[in-house]
Amino acid sequence: MSEMYWLEAGEAARLIAAKKLSPVELTKALLARIEKYDGGLNAFLTLRPEQSLADAKAAEDAVMRGDDLGPLHGVPYALKDIIDAEGWPTTAHSRLLADNVATADAPVTAKLRAAGGILMGKLSTHEFALGGPSFDLPWPPARNAWGRNYSPGGSSSGSGAAVAAGFVPIALGSDTGGSVRNPASMNGLLGMKATYGRVSRRGVVPLSFSLDHVGPLTRTTADNALALSVIAGHDPQDPGSAEQLVSDMGGQLGRGVKGLKIGVIRHFYTKDLIADPETTAAIEAAIKVLEGLGAEIREIETRPLAQYAACNRVILLSEACAIHEKWITERTEDYGALLLGRLLPGMAYSGVDYVQATRTRARYAAEFNEHFNSLDAVVTVNNMEPAFLIEDFEAGEKHYPRQARTPFNVTGNPAVAVPTGFSSSGLPLSMQIVTGQFDEAMGYRIAAAYEAETGWTGKHPDLDVTAVV
């Protein structure tokens, strides 16, 4: 208990329910860690320690009374600052929303509260989940817990940094072109983009109506499955929400991978783009681990990365410009330079371009999902290299497109980022496990088997070294 900040969320909830751990003491320990180290990481935009402690005290009182407890009772969490929590600011890390205060919880926030979670604060993001890491905004960008001179990825940058640093065991992010899986990859975490429509996006500042997802970042597979089980479910007020029953996402943990048929998309990182040699070596080693555990590995081919990326780009930027049209016209000067530079090309797309891209998306999704007629899952790379230096603008512009995440925003399939070890410089590496529509439990099953065999998720950064200002 001397290092409560590394407790898994599920384990903390069990200890709290058994009266072996105090929600107040856990919250105090995490707040103390945030106070000590977040000055070097900038993960949080908003903290309200007194409110968090009051909520923790209420959770503790409920335990003592013998009340029915939710699966996250007394467990702290945090939200990317595009997700509403009643009475808290939702700034999207932008001057344009600097004074915006949420009047109600987003459904995902309400579900975390109902499960007993303790909201610790709102987390840094790339501006409007697209522009960053930016140094021309009212708040500094979040930094990587494994080395503060490096980017933590984006756009859910603070979510990745906060979980990796031991500030919270669970943080929510969003994923439109990879924005949960990118910070997961750069911070050595699990990050899930569930099936499109699995999780409500209502009460979340939109980037792209038809590509946005909300998903959890955690340090372990079990915690990720637990968090997704809590936040998933149909929302009739979200037009993209799926009427799909929510099962226990962790129901297959511990079943192993023996007999499973797993496809590998190698051409993403050996032909379409050439990955860093250490990244390639790590994913090939991961594939061998899965094969050694009894999985049947088959190499498969899909469309090239560039075709998925082009489809994603037209849809994302067209919808983003529709959302931002008024502000782009009337408050151009209030945008950070990076976001404005990424948004403006979308103004050149025509209605024909957008319609053709949406039709193409449907075709690509149907083609890709045919693979699951004979496969249980597909594995491929995440980033093509580890984190880049955060203040190196040219490196950031070069590295952000070098990834294999956007195909699964286009197809809508669940994709979970899983740590595969570290580069020679000590920075995390990552792969993705992709499964059929609404089969997140299979992705977690494979991730858990790999996690148990390799132990990568048990390694944590030394903030006395990495977060020193």
Location of structure tokens 């995490």? 30
As given in the structure block, the two tokens for residue 326 are: 């008024």
Half-sphere CA count of 299, side-chain side, radius 13 A: 7
Could you say which of 52, 156, 174, 179 is catalytic? Answer: 179
Q: State the pairing for strand pair 118-123/190-193.
A: unpaired
Q: Tell me how far apart the alpha carbons of residues 191 and 188 are, in angstroms, rounded to a whole number.
A: 9
Q: Say which amino acid occupies 430.
A: S
Could you say which of 80, 111, 122, 193 is catalytic? Answer: 80
Asked if 66 and 111 touch (Cβ cutoff 8 Å), the reply is no
Instruction: Decide if 210 is catalytic.
Output: no
User: Residue 102, by phi and psi: left (phi above 0), alpha (psi -120 to 50) or beta?
Assistant: beta
Q: Tell me how far apart the alpha carbons of residues 151 and 161 are, in angstroms, rounded to a whole number.
A: 9
The total of other beta-carbon atoms located within 10 Å of residue 392's CB is: 14
As given in the structure block, the two tokens for residue 256 are: 């192993």
Q: How far is CA 365 from CA 220, 271, 308, 437, in A?
A: 29, 21, 10, 10
Q: State the pairing for strand pair 190-193/214-218.
A: antiparallel
3-state secondary structure of 217: strand
Instruction: Decide if 185 is catalytic.
Output: no
The total of other beta-carbon atoms located within 10 Å of residue 6's CB is: 12
Which of the 8 DSSP states describes residue 271? I
Helix (H) or strand (E) holding 47: strand 44-47
As given in the structure block, the two tokens for residue 427 are: 């920075």
- Diameter over CA atoms, the chain: 62
Q: Tell me how far apart the alpha carbons of residues 278 and 267 are, in angstroms, rounded to a whole number.
A: 16
Q: How many helices (H) and strands (E) does the chain have?
A: 16, 11
Distant-in-sequence, close-in-space partners of 225: CB < 8 Å, separation ≥ 6: 248, 249, 250, 253, 440, 441, 444
Could you say which of 22, 155, 156, 423 is catalytic? Answer: 155
Q: Tell me how far apart the alpha carbons of residues 81 and 129 are, in angstroms, rounded to a whole number.
A: 9
Q: Say which amino acid occupies 185.
A: S
Instruction: Decide if 122 is catalytic.
Output: no
Torsion of CA 150, 44, 430, 267, to 10 degrees: -80
Is 291 exposed, middle or buried (CB count within 10 Å of its CB: 0-12, 13-18, 19+)?
A: middle
Active-site annotation, residues: 80, 155, 179
